[in-house]
């Protein structure tokens, strides 16, 4: 399998954790050529993935887009350890947390949106950060309430072993730390995040350990 | 089952189609009280759904949030007719289309984001519409390419019967029409949309047929 990834992409980070938890070897392919607009790489990548986003997992000759679709695919083909509970309402609860992060926090704060706020909309760096904070705080406050109120919460979002929810939560907290969002108001999120980052599969998936880190300047923003 | 819904919410629309396809009866509960900031309703709703978004399906005493999590739940408990194909790569393909709409088109153009662009960001109605068009066009162009390139496309996104992908596509096209986005460049999307809207489950789920339409002025925008 080959994973097209960008080290700081939180959606790519989710899939890296899943691959590690399942013990699946994969080839890491950075997408620096896409960022730089290299015509050959861009053409090749858009043919594989018309969405033009990362991550993309190519399994054999089948390209699979969208991180949550990829993770469900891996979970169906490689059921151990399971990334969803067995009972339908519990599965819906876990998917509900994952999708809240994936649909209602993440998309508002990704690179292409931050770029659009600067150009063409002409917002300052400070206004862009206020936008970031607004959606992150709205999302994290709701997530904290959801998790505090859940009788199923354990060391992880649901029980004591990682599920799809944790695979979304940990990268989102990484992203918040990257953008210097104070996390004191979200002790439950932070505790789950810190626990997950004691697990080898999460540790190895962290952005700063990916092979394409060195291709980017430390503060390079895309 | 009780569905908390807002007639024009495309995420609610997805769930209404799923309930209809499965032949499941449900009680429709509009959320006008939430929009109006009625304290009792808002408190009640936030206790059920800390995210504060629609839709929410309450099955027995279990509240389920996030439209795609709800639809997967319904599909697991009521497998006929199936809303996902059987084979893992095909399931991933269908989920990839659905998630592209749910994560990369829809969240950028929902009411709370449109409102934020007006206040506090101070953008004009025209700038807000340009924002809408930018993300909708980017998304629809990619979707059209994905569907044109798919060997599995039939009358619907995948084969000849509706899947999760169609349940996301049809509401997104409705939303585009509502905001007067020209659709000539997306004949494949339009053809699938038009086919689905010949099916009773889709017809009955349409926004203008929901019980809470009459609670809103025709051009009332939230």
Model pLDDT, residue A198? 98
CB A170 within 8 A of CB A196: yes
As a whole number, mean pLDDT of residues A44-53 equals 96
- B36 and B106 fall within a common domain: no
Q: What is the mean pLDDT of chain B?
A: 96
Last residue of a domain, one of B80, B110, B127: B80
Model pLDDT, residue A37? 87
Asked whether the beta carbons of residue A102 and residue B103 sit closer than 8 angstroms, the reply is yes
Mutation site for B-interface testing, chosen from A56, A65, A186 by largest number of B Cβ within 10 Å: A65
Q: Has residue A220 been placed in a domain?
A: no
- B152 and B187 fall within a common domain: yes
Tokens of B160: 């000849």
B137 in reach of chain A (CB within 8 A): no
B213 in reach of chain A (CB within 8 A): no
As a whole number, mean pLDDT of residues B146-157 equals 97
Q: CA dihedral in degrees (B83, B84, B86, B87; nearest 10)?
A: 170
Backbone phi, then psi, for B179, in 5-degree steps? -95, 15
The model's confidence at residue B36, banded by pLDDT at 50, 70 and 90, is: confident
- Residue with the larger pLDDT of the pair A157 and A35: A157
Model pLDDT, residue A32? 92
Alpha carbon of B144: minimum distance to chain A alpha carbons (Å): 9
Cα A160 from Cα A155, distance rounded (Å) = 5
Q: Has residue B72 been placed in a domain?
A: yes
- B168 and B114 fall within a common domain: yes
The model's confidence at residue A221, banded by pLDDT at 50, 70 and 90, is: low
- B94 and B185 fall within a common domain: yes
Of B50, B103, B142, the CB nearest to A146: B50
As a whole number, mean pLDDT of residues B104-132 equals 93
Backbone phi, then psi, for A29, in 5-degree steps? -120, 110
Model pLDDT, residue A115? 92
Asked whether the beta carbons of residue B146 and residue A50 sit closer than 8 angstroms, the reply is yes
- B195 and B118 fall within a common domain: yes
A106 in reach of chain B (CB within 8 A): yes
Q: Has residue A71 been placed in a domain?
A: yes
C-beta atoms surrounding B165 within 10 Å: 28
Closest CA to B103 of A175, A113, A217: A113
Cis before residue B200, ω within 30 degrees of 0? no
Model pLDDT, residue B218? 77
Cα B150 from Cα A49, distance rounded (Å) = 12
As a whole number, mean pLDDT of residues A126-135 equals 95
**Looking at residue A177, what DSSP letter applies?**
H
- Please give the helix or strand (H or E) that residue B120 lies within, else none: none
CB B45 within 8 A of CB B4: yes
The model's confidence at residue A29, banded by pLDDT at 50, 70 and 90, is: very high
- B76 and B142 fall within a common domain: no
Residue with token string 């990619």: B142
State how far the alpha carbon of A189 is from the alpha carbons of A94, A140, B10, B98, in Å. Answer: 14, 8, 29, 27
Show which of residues 176-195 on chain B sit within 8 Å of chain A, judged by CB atoms. none
Alpha carbon of B168: minimum distance to chain A alpha carbons (Å): 13
Alpha carbon of B59: minimum distance to chain A alpha carbons (Å): 9
Closest CA to A161 of A21, A15, A20: A21
Q: How far is CA A189 from the centre of its chain?
A: 15
Backbone phi, then psi, for B38, in 5-degree steps? -65, 120
Query: In B, which residues are within 8 Å of A64 by CB distance?
Result: 89, 92-93, 96
CB B29 within 8 A of CB B4: yes
- A137 and A168 fall within a common domain: yes
Number of structural domains (chain A) is 2
Of A52, A99, A108, the CB nearest to B142: A52
Model pLDDT, residue A7? 96
As a whole number, mean pLDDT of residues A177-187 equals 97
Mutation site for A-interface testing, chosen from B1, B24, B43, B50 by largest number of A Cβ within 10 Å: B50
Q: Has residue A16 been placed in a domain?
A: yes
Q: What is the CATH number of the domain that holds A153?
A: 1.20.1050.10
Last residue of a domain, one of B56, B80, B104: B80
Based on DSSP, count helices (H) and strands (E) in chain B, helices before strands.
Answer: 10, 4
- A180 and A112 fall within a common domain: yes
As a whole number, mean pLDDT of residues B112-123 equals 92
Percent of chain A with pLDDT over 70: 99
Strand B2-5 and strand B56-59: the pairing is antiparallel
B68 in reach of chain A (CB within 8 A): yes
Sign (positive or negative) of CA dihedral A205, A208, A212, A216: positive
As a whole number, mean pLDDT of residues B93-97 equals 98
A88 in reach of chain B (CB within 8 A): yes
Tokens of A103: 């649909």
Polymer length of chain B: 222
Q: What is the CATH number of the domain that holds A19?
A: 3.40.30.10
Last residue of a domain, one of B80, B115, B138: B80
Q: Has residue B142 been placed in a domain?
A: yes
User: Has residue A192 got a pLDDT over 70?
Assistant: yes
As a whole number, mean pLDDT of residues A90-94 equals 98
A127 in reach of chain B (CB within 8 A): yes
Mutation site for B-interface testing, chosen from A69, A71, A143, A151 by largest number of B Cβ within 10 Å: A69
The model's confidence at residue B35, banded by pLDDT at 50, 70 and 90, is: confident
Q: Has residue A145 been placed in a domain?
A: yes
- A42 and A120 fall within a common domain: no
B43 in reach of chain A (CB within 8 A): no
- A211 and A187 fall within a common domain: no
Q: CA dihedral in degrees (A11, A14, A16, A21; nearest 10)?
A: -170
Q: Has residue A222 been placed in a domain?
A: no
Cα B204 from Cα B200, distance rounded (Å) = 6
Structural domain for A8, as ranges: 2-80+204-215
- B192 and B108 fall within a common domain: yes
Tokens of A173: 């907290």
Cα A131 from Cα A114, distance rounded (Å) = 9
Query: In B, which residues are within 8 Å of A88 by CB distance?
Result: 73, 76-77
pLDDT tens for A56-71 read 999 999 999 999 999 9
Predicted ipTM of the assembly: 0.97
The model's confidence at residue A54, banded by pLDDT at 50, 70 and 90, is: very high
Query: In A, which residues are within 8 Å of B73 by CB distance?
Result: 88-89, 91-92, 95
CA nearest B72 in A: which residue? A92
- B17 and B70 fall within a common domain: yes
Query: In A, which residues are within 8 Å of B103 by CB distance?
Result: 66, 68, 102-103, 106-107
Q: Has residue B214 been placed in a domain?
A: no
């Amino acid at each position: 399998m080959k994973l097209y990834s960008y080290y700081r992409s939180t959606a790519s980070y989710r899939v890296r954790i899943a691959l590690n938890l399942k013990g699946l070897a994969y080839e890491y392919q950075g997408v620096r050529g896409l960022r730089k607009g290299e015509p050959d790489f861009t053409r090749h990548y858009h043919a594989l993935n018309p969405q033009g986003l990362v991550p993309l997992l190519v399994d054999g000759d089948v390209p699979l887009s969208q991180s949550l679709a990829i993770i469900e695919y891996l979970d169906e083909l490689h059921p151990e350890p399971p990334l969803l509970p067995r009972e339908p309402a519990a599965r819906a609860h876990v998917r509900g947390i994952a999708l809240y992060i994936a649909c209602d926090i993440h998309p508002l704060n990704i690179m292409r949106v931050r770029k659009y706020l600067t150009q063409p909309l002409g917002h300052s760096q400070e206004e862009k950060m206020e936008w970031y904070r607004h959606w992150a705080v709205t999302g994290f406050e709701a997530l904290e309430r959801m998790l505090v109120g859940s009788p199923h919460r354990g060391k992880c979002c649901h029980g004591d072993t990682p599920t799809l929810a944790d695979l979304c939560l940990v990268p989102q907290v990484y992203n918040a730390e990257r953008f210097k969002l104070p996390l004191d108001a979200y002790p439950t999120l932070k505790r789950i995040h810190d626990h997950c980052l004691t697990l080898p599969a999460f540790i190895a998936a962290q952005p700063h350990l990916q092979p394409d880190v060195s291709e980017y300047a430390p503060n390079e923003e895309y």
